[in-house]
Structure 1
Amino acid sequence: MAVLRSFSASPHSFLLLLLLLQMLGAKGQDLEVLQPPGPLSVSAGETLTLTCTMSGTGPPGGVKWHKGSDRKQSIYSERGQYPSRVTRVVPVSETDFSIRISNIRPEDAGTYYCVKYRAGSQETELKSGVGTEVSVIATPSQPSIKGPASRVLSGTSATFSCTSDGFSPRAIKVTWLKDNTRIVSPEPTVLPEGDSISYQVLSTAQVPLTRDDVKSQLICQIEHETLRSPLREFFKLGDILRVPPRVKLEANPANPVPLNESVTFSCSAEGFYPEDTTLALTLNGSLSETGTTEPMAQNGDGTFILRSSLKLNATEDRNQSALTCLVTQNSQPVATETSVLNIRVPTEGSESVSMEPGPFQLSPFGLCIGLILASKLLVVAPFLLYLFLKKGHGKVNLRNTPVST
């Protein structure tokens, strides 16, 4: 108002003041913020250049870079404190306010605005560029495979999951392989479902396990447009596989064993995995007579074998003795095999006779002897009856007692 009063006495002075105000306004209106809209694509780890130039003249005030139209996230200002990876392209320029952002990350994706402010006690936005849309092309992280929490028996299936994250754009391919043989699996899940600066993938697979998988490998393979070659993660199936043993109990020589001969009983647990298996061979359940266990050995397929043997003399007192082989795996009984020692006793003038109990059998010679004895018994039976009755009653009338001849 003081300025207006100073020019009120002269119409020419007043017109000069209006012209001055129009010129100042024209300078603000002539100012243009030139910013390419994009979109720009940059790979993670590379350097992004955002271009912004000013044309025309404007009032005093600084220029700032913001991410997002709400201006809440400041990227660069000459007077602010910002990460060292954000720098001016031409530090001393009054018209070029382009910036560089090095080591781009997936979270750097978004729309960037170059904004001219008017100086004052409180800065106000004067003009803004149209905004440059930036997308970050990010490679997936190394995949990670997670298997069952405990061991799984061969002959069944196990569930595995594979994850990878931090990639963009969204499209990704996951393939499961078992020793380079493809396993059919459901389509992977990519999160989040909507637009995002980066994504995460989750894939699951049901893998059948066999006794031959101790040395097999499970592979999760990921393909993405940012990768020159697929990413692969390996999982050893032997880390979660449990193979039960095949148990055998044998005698040498085989039953029946000649009396007082030596016999060796051998028990073996074959083809088991892992090593947490024990074997015990006992005679009649006694801990004082047990087999001698050999050191555990490993087969070519990665499984293990364990043997125990017990040598005995086939004495009469050991006939029908029970030999028991007990195998435990992971501290749990998994198999029991039992064999009975049968001893063959030789007889004079004939072949040896097995002491093994069996059903009653009568030879023809024995049958004849039996018939003769039966006929004699019929002859003496009345006399025996007479003696029995006499002893029971004191007197017996023999004339009234029939006698058969």
Structure 2
Amino acid sequence: MQSVGAQEFRLHQLQDKVSVAAGKTLTLNCTTSGMVIAGAVRWLKGWGSENKTIYDQREKPLPRVTRAVAGSDTDFTIHISNVQPEDMGTYYCVKFVKGDTGQEEVFQRGNGTEVSVQAKPSPLLVSGPAERMRPGQSVSFTCRTGGFFPKEIVVKWFKNRDPMMVQQPQITEWGVKTYNMSSTVMVTLQKNDVPSQLTCEVLHSTLLAPLRGSFQLSRVLRVPPSVEVRAEPSPTELNKTVTFTCLVKEFYPAHVSVSWLENGVDLKVQNISQPRELHSGLFELRSQVEVQATEEKNGSTITCMVVHDAQAPANSSAFLWIYNPAQGESSKESQMLKDDMLIYIVVGVVCTVLALLVAAILYLIRTKQIKGKSSPSARLHEPEKSSEATTQESDPNNLTYADLNFDKERKTIRRMVEMSQQSEYACIQTNRAPNGDDNLTYADLDMVHLSKAPKRPAPRPEEASSEYASVQITRK
């Protein structure tokens, strides 16, 4: 009877593989057919020495395990609620019977059902540096998630809406059949990054929509202010009030304090200014202090000291300049005289330089002309006297000869002819010679007999186109 019953008993486990999302309910199907045989039906996770009992027909089920059909002798389907990644594995439906020794033995075993749990990535965690950084510095940001299955995952980064170039994420196995992911991106901070946002986006087969995490760059950005001090009016009249303005420009975050110093000593400021936000997300601040322009304060240094976001202080200074109106006119006249004197000196130096330059040019031109021309000359030659003639009385009417050399250029200066009762003269006139290599006019006067007629005026010089020469001989 038992052998016949054993042949008619059948255990059916038809599911080969089952995939379930984490947190959902897993259903494992197992039914029997044929004769009912004494012995328990159990569900085991794994097979061998490390198997684990999930459900036992004769014992109280685990908290997450329930029977699909309570009290049934043929349907041993179970439900496992709130499935977690650690529930992944192979499950077996097994029929046990008592053996000859009284111990339970495996009577029949199903083929096993491989269960995989589709685990969604955990919410993204995007982190940055622990301290604020200045514009121009390169900063790393990290996006993390974990507890997901399967392993395949895609990560993208965006700055505002612009995609960023990133390396492949690092994926490590964690726990039982789950994975963790870490992705890093480098960002060079800019001054205008206060409103900017980084976004990490993850795509996974368990997600109906991308998983996103964001990070505001303003959380790690520090923009130091520029500081400028202005004094109005400057210089100021004695005993008047001067307003010093401190401009603290384009800084972030808004944590800033301003103090005033006069020659290193604190000045009390009644009105404390508050930062004003700009469209760029940066801040600016304008602080003012009034100083009485007394005589002893002339030349004082007024300093604006700015401490931004608990950093080292920055400062800027201006001077308090004072003038006395009573001394103003004389000072102006003195200054005008100094200015006029300076102008005269400059003009005199310029004129002197120009005069020297002109003289140098004229000298160079004159030197060049002299080198290119022969100077006119007149030479009087005494007749050669022999030893015989030395005893003879010379003839008063005898005139020695003269060599006359002249330039062939037009003469524009009239030569004066000496008028004397004791002189006689001779006149030679030449027209312009034709062009040639020799540029001189030559005349020889030899034994010219001068008329002893009454003296008459020297002849009037010819036109400028003529050249002349006169020789006067004193009467002996």
Number of aligned residue pairs: 338
How far did residue 258 of structure 1 move?
4.5
How far did residue 241 of structure 1 move?
1.6
Q: Give the one of 242, 246, 267 matched to 2:226.
A: 246
Partner of 1:64: 42
Amino acid at match of 1:113: Y
Q: Confirm or deny that 1:33 pairs with 2:11.
A: yes
Partner of 2:290: 311
How far did residue 224 of structure 1 move?
1.1
List runs of 5+ in structure 1 lacking aligned partners: 1-22, 355-359, 368-405
1:84-108 per-residue CA deviation (whole Å, 9 max, x = no partner) reads 4322223333332222223322222
Q: Confirm or deny that 1:54 pairs with 2:32.
A: yes
Partner of 2:21: 43
List runs of 5+ in structure 2 lacking aligned partners: 346-476
Q: Which moved more, 1:96-105 or 1:24-33?
A: 24-33
Secondary structure in structure 1 of the residue aligned to 2:86: helix
Whether the 8 Å CA contact 2:170–2:182 is kept in 1: the answer is yes
Partner of 1:298: 277
1:137-175 per-residue CA deviation (whole Å, 9 max, x = no partner) reads 122222111221121222212222111122211111111
Q: Give the one of 234, 243, 249 matched to 1:264.
A: 243
Once the two structures are superposed, the pairs formed by residues 364-375 of structure 1 within 5 Å of their partners are: none
Partner of 1:124: 105
| Aligned mates of 2:153, 2:128 — CA distance in 1 | 22
Secondary structure in structure 2 of the residue aligned to 1:145: strand
Q: Which moved more, 1:120-129 or 1:132-141?
A: 120-129
How far did residue 292 of structure 1 move?
4.8
Q: Confirm or deny that 1:173 pairs with 2:154.
A: yes
Partner of 1:133: 114
Once the two structures are superposed, the pairs formed by residues 85-234 of structure 1 within 5 Å of their partners are: 85-119=64-98, 121-192=102-173, 196-234=176-214
State the identity %. 39
Partner of 1:281: 260
Whether the 8 Å CA contact 2:142–2:182 is kept in 1: the answer is yes
Whether the 8 Å CA contact 2:152–2:204 is kept in 1: the answer is yes
How far did residue 55 of structure 1 move?
4.2
| Aligned mates of 1:166, 1:366 — CA distance in 2 | 92
Whether the 8 Å CA contact 2:260–2:266 is kept in 1: the answer is no
| Aligned mates of 1:82, 1:97 — CA distance in 2 | 12
| Aligned mates of 2:224, 2:330 — CA distance in 1 | 51
Whether the 8 Å CA contact 2:16–2:111 is kept in 1: the answer is no
Whether the 8 Å CA contact 1:293–1:307 is kept in 2: the answer is no
Whether the 8 Å CA contact 1:344–1:352 is kept in 2: the answer is no
Secondary structure in structure 1 of the residue aligned to 2:76: coil
Whether the 8 Å CA contact 2:120–2:148 is kept in 1: the answer is yes
Q: Which moved more, 1:60-69 or 1:149-158?
A: 149-158
Secondary structure in structure 2 of the residue aligned to 1:336: strand
Change (3 A) 1:257 1:353: farther
Change (3 A) 1:361 1:125: farther
Whether the 8 Å CA contact 1:344–1:353 is kept in 2: the answer is no
Secondary structure in structure 2 of the residue aligned to 1:153: coil
How far did residue 344 of structure 1 move?
4.2
| Aligned mates of 1:352, 1:101 — CA distance in 2 | 106
Amino acid at match of 2:18: L
Whether the 8 Å CA contact 1:347–1:353 is kept in 2: the answer is no
How far did residue 365 of structure 1 move?
11
How far did residue 43 of structure 1 move?
1.9
How far did residue 112 of structure 1 move?
0.3
Change (3 A) 1:332 1:89: closer
**Structure with greater Cα Rg:** 2
| Aligned mates of 1:126, 1:108 — CA distance in 2 | 26
Change (3 A) 1:321 1:107: same
How far did residue 206 of structure 1 move?
1.4
* TM-score (ref. length: structure 2): 0.64
* TM-score (ref. length: structure 1): 0.74
How far did residue 44 of structure 1 move?
2.3
Whether the 8 Å CA contact 2:260–2:267 is kept in 1: the answer is no
Whether the 8 Å CA contact 2:15–2:29 is kept in 1: the answer is no
Secondary structure in structure 1 of the residue aligned to 2:47: coil
How far did residue 331 of structure 1 move?
2.6
Query: Greater RCO between the two (CA within 8 Å, min separation 6)?
Result: 1
Partner of 1:388: none
